Amino acid sequence: MISQLIEKIQKTKAPVCVGLDPMLSYIPDHIVKKALEEYGETLEGAAEAVWQFNREIIDHTFDLIPAVKPQIAMYEQFGLEGLAVYKRTVDYCREKGLIVIGDVKRGDIGSTSAAYAAGHLGRVQVGSSSLSGLGADFITVNPYLGTDGVKPFVDVCKKEDKGIFVLVKTSNPSSGEFQDRLIDGRPLYELVAEKVTEWGQDTMDGSYSNVGAVVGATYPEMSRILRKLMPNTYFLVPGYGAQGGTAEDLRHCFNDDGLGAVVNSSRGIIAAYRQEKYSGFGAQRFGEASRQAVIDMAEDINRVL
Amino acid sequence: MISQLIEKIQKTKAPVCVGLDPMLSYIPDHIVKKALEEYGETLEGAAEAVWQFNREIIDHTFDLIPAVKPQIAMYEQFGLEGLAVYKRTVDYCREKGLIVIGDVKRGDIGSTSAAYAAGHLGRVQVGSSSLSGLGADFITVNPYLGTDGVKPFVDVCKKEDKGIFVLVKTSNPSSGEFQDRLIDGRPLYELVAEKVTEWGQDTMDGSYSNVGAVVGATYPEMSRILRKLMPNTYFLVPGYGAQGGTAEDLRHCFNDDGLGAVVNSSRGIIAAYRQEKYSGFGAQRFGEASRQAVIDMAEDINRVL
């Protein structure tokens, strides 16, 4: 699966992932108004607004990018109706030829992780039928429970040619609270990084493993060390743009071959129309604003590679 | 919310939580067969089998227990159809007067955790309406991202009188891989425990805080230390029974007042009919087998308190 992502990155010349994290406050009024007029102030109405918003952004960006990353929490907040739009978004993106990274951050004891892995990446057995539930290409995984909580995801990666990105060093302000604490003189995130390499050893797909790592753009010194520690691990890099990470900060996430990382931007792309820089598009043309923001982001990153 | 859980524990004299984690392999053949005959070998068919199974178990145990803990992964594996049964189960249990602990182990950066908190515990704003998504009383939370990833859950606990249980020391075999590593001479799980106490300080609800901890029954020496370190924190204790934890192992999870812990059992209760001990009930009377298993479990635990 990672080789497919790399191929698309090379084709689009954009190591960019669009984060489909549609808070209602990001969605232009005319879309929300129309959805709520049709469905009322209901979860269904909110979900419809999210869907119309997503579709417009996907239609305006899919030819420029390799991947999208829907954040499932933004759908779960609207209950079952929101989750139906999560699946609809995943399916629509895959139809458009995009790699879908489900940002679900799941992780549990072995048997439970196996159920998550089946539902999000693999297949579940019902009688003699083998069925797909939510059907992403990659998902993000939380490592706090250790190897037996991650292994079931790796097993599905092998069986179904899928991939995961394990949280190593996250982009948020308090990520250091536990992740940076020193164990035998080395921060916890380095220990997790070593395990990620180990978990990925049997899933090599070209020069990189199908077990990747989440490494935040907001801590460039740490990403420099992690890049060296995990040469064959692809990085999913959140934190660019709205969270404060700059293109300069990203440089260390890449290997010398210009590969090794895919950089996510959510708000910076999907709510671009609200930025001064793109205000000329106006709320009606928010999809075009997102398209321009993708072009600018790819250029910004390619500048430092 | 924790005071409501305690009240129900005292009323039932059972510090017991039934884990509604219905793998298809646990469900008696006659239920699966009927559901698949009606809906085919589909996700809908599997979800219907899960629902019929859950309902029977709830109907046979709700008067004996304070709480249930549906593990959402077991529903997510069946996609949207499974998630609909998760919600149906949550709603049905609450109608029956049970406290519902959604075992979802969510956790992310602040804005994302806020969305999870709204969807699982609180309410989401749609226009002028404030709507409930999945509606549990408690959920489990993963602490790997630190304070800003947990705080939004705590905020919803305060606002809506709900509760969370944060993963501190999990019950699985490799939980020690990261959780037991020493930081300044103390294991990571103790540092997490201290943060849990800190996060819960403003959510006291009687003698205990609405921010609880997940502490596995399988590591009794560690639960002894954690019990002392977090005197006002309620423990959700997985790992009893099928995972190997005994009643003796649980003793340390409780305070001297006999409170302080609610012990979960999943397979040991819901698949009781498959045990030698309860085989007399047969697969047709699996609900009665579960009822007897609850009675036996409460007796087993009360014996050591």
pLDDT category at B3 given cuts 50, 70, 90 is very high
Our CA dihedral for A18, A22, A26, A30, rounded to 10 degrees, sits at 110
Q: How far is CA A212 from CA A101, A152, B27, B149, in A?
A: 12, 15, 36, 22
Ranking A44-58, A240-254, B15-29, B136-150 by mean pLDDT, the lowest is A240-254
**Tokens representing B38?**
């009606």
pLDDT category at B205 given cuts 50, 70, 90 is very high
The pLDDT score that the predictor gives to residue A243 is 76
Of A84, A124, A143, the CB nearest to B78: A124
Nearest residue in chain B measured CA to CA from A170: B145
Task: Give the whole-angstrom CA distance, residue B271 versus residue B290.
Answer: 7
- Contact yes or no for B41 and A127 at CB 8 A: yes
Interval B52-73 mean pLDDT: 98
pLDDT at B15 over 90: yes
Q: What is the ipTM of this complex?
A: 0.97
pLDDT at B5 over 90: yes
Nearest residue in chain A measured CA to CA from B84: A80
B209-245 tens-digit pLDDT: 999 999 999 999 999 999 999 999 999 999 898 778 8
The pLDDT score that the predictor gives to residue B245 is 82
Task: Give the whole-angstrom CA distance, residue A270 versus residue A295.
Answer: 13
Give the residue among B281, B287, B214, B228 at the shortest CA–CA distance from B53. B287
- Contact yes or no for B148 and A112 at CB 8 A: no
Interval B168-192 mean pLDDT: 97
Would you call A29 an interface residue with chain B, using a CB distance cutoff of 8 Å? no
Would you call B111 an interface residue with chain A, using a CB distance cutoff of 8 Å? yes
Q: Which chain B residues have a beta carbon less than 8 Å from that of A83?
A: 80, 83
- Contact yes or no for A188 and B181 at CB 8 A: yes
Per-residue pLDDT of chain A (305 residues; tens, 9 = 90+): 999 999 999 999 999 999 999 999 999 999 999 999 999 999 999 999 999 999 999 999 999 999 999 999 999 999 999 999 999 999 999 999 999 999 999 999 999 999 999 999 999 999 999 999 999 999 999 999 999 999 999 999 999 999 999 999 999 999 999 999 999 999 999 999 999 999 999 999 999 999 999 999 999 999 999 999 999 999 999 989 877 888 898 999 999 999 999 999 999 999 999 999 999 999 999 999 999 999 999 999 999 98
The pLDDT score that the predictor gives to residue A241 is 83
Task: Give the whole-angstrom CA distance, residue B77 versus residue B73.
Answer: 6
pLDDT above 70 as % of chain B: 100
pLDDT at B299 over 80: yes
Q: Which chain A residues have a beta carbon less than 8 Å from that of B170?
A: 109, 144-145, 149
Sign of CA dihedral A72, A77, A82, A84: positive
A22-46 tens-digit pLDDT: 999 999 999 999 999 999 999 999 9
Q: Which chain A residues have a beta carbon less than 8 Å from that of B76?
A: 115-116, 119-120, 133-134
Active site residues of A: 105
The pLDDT score that the predictor gives to residue A60 is 98
Task: Give the whole-angstrom CA distance, residue B98 versus residue B96.
Answer: 6
The pLDDT score that the predictor gives to residue B63 is 98
Sign of CA dihedral A183, B213, A23, B111: negative
Burial of A185 (0-12, 13-18, 19+ CB in 10 A): exposed
- Contact yes or no for A76 and B133 at CB 8 A: yes
The pLDDT score that the predictor gives to residue B236 is 98
The pLDDT score that the predictor gives to residue B60 is 98
Would you call B129 an interface residue with chain A, using a CB distance cutoff of 8 Å? yes
B182-201 tens-digit pLDDT: 999 999 999 999 999 999 99
Give the residue among B210, B73, B75 at the shortest CA–CA distance from B138. B210
The pLDDT score that the predictor gives to residue B242 is 75
Nearest residue in chain B measured CA to CA from A185: B183
Task: Give the whole-angstrom CA distance, residue B282 versus residue A243.
Answer: 58
Of A36, A109, A191, the CB nearest to B181: A191
- Contact yes or no for B172 and A142 at CB 8 A: no
Mean of per-residue pLDDT scores for chain B: 97
Interval B118-127 mean pLDDT: 97
- Contact yes or no for A23 and B174 at CB 8 A: no
Would you call B176 an interface residue with chain A, using a CB distance cutoff of 8 Å? yes
CB pairs under 8 A between A and B: 232
B242-269 tens-digit pLDDT: 778 888 989 999 999 999 999 999 999 9
Task: Give the whole-angstrom CA distance, residue A233 versus residue A281.
Answer: 39
Options B105, B151, B158, B169, the catalytic residue: B105
User: Smallest CA–CA separation between A11 and chain B, in Å?
Assistant: 31
The pLDDT score that the predictor gives to residue B29 is 97
Say what angle helices B79-95 and B43-61 make with each other, to 10 degrees: 20
Nearest residue in chain B measured CA to CA from A134: B79
The pLDDT score that the predictor gives to residue B100 is 98
